[in-house]
Amino acid sequence: MSSSSSPMQSTGRKLKLKSKDDETFEVEEAVAVKSQIFKYMVEDGVSNGPIPLPNVNGKTLARVLQWCQKHADPTITEDELNKYDAGFIDVDQAVLYDLLMAANYLNIEELLKLACMRVADMIKGKSPDEIRRTFNIKNDFTPEEEEEVRKENAWALGP
């Protein structure tokens, strides 16, 4: 996508990242650029000093970087990657939430898709009530509004 003159190969350069709880991470450029945010920073040469990430905690950042590392590995096969992803995303809801928010904030498209698919899988087959409970969502329809919407979608909601 980028047509910048400097190639994205491993120049051996590393990026320093600082999580919101002050944990620092050093990561190779080739791995970090899985995130569009870092990709643009590297392209624009704005990567001196540790990059502060006030929206991501250390634990989550560690996980995300591990994912990026795996996905930046040229020797890994597609099958191995799929297996890895399946295991990676099989986490509890709190961790999943953090991964989702981090992938969105850091603009890591593949990881975002993976996490969204997992959340979608958690929603499939649940009733609206169950969905609300799983995600702690308040039902803000008035009883009349809810009846309207239910009628509209009656065929999907079933008997």
What does the binding site for another protein look like in residue numbers (CB under 8 A)?
A: 78, 94, 97, 100-101, 104, 112-113, 116-117, 119-120, 123-128, 131-132, 135-141, 145-146, 149-150, 152-153, 155-157
Closest separation between CB of residue 24 and another protein, Å?
25
Pick 15 or 112: Cβ nearer another protein? 112
Distance CA 20, CA 57 (A): 5
Q: Work out the burial of residue 45: count CB atoms within 10 Å of its CB; fewer than 13 is exposed, 13-18 middle, 19 or more buried.
A: exposed
Pick 86 or 123: Cβ nearer another protein? 123
Pick 61 or 115: Cβ nearer another protein? 115
Closest separation between CB of residue 79 and another protein, Å?
9
Closest separation between CB of residue 23 and another protein, Å?
20
Distance CA 100, CA 95 (A): 9
Pick 3 or 138: Cβ nearer another protein? 138
Q: Work out the burial of residue 115: count CB atoms within 10 Å of its CB; fewer than 13 is exposed, 13-18 middle, 19 or more buried.
A: buried
Cβ proximity of 62 and 25 under 8 Å = yes
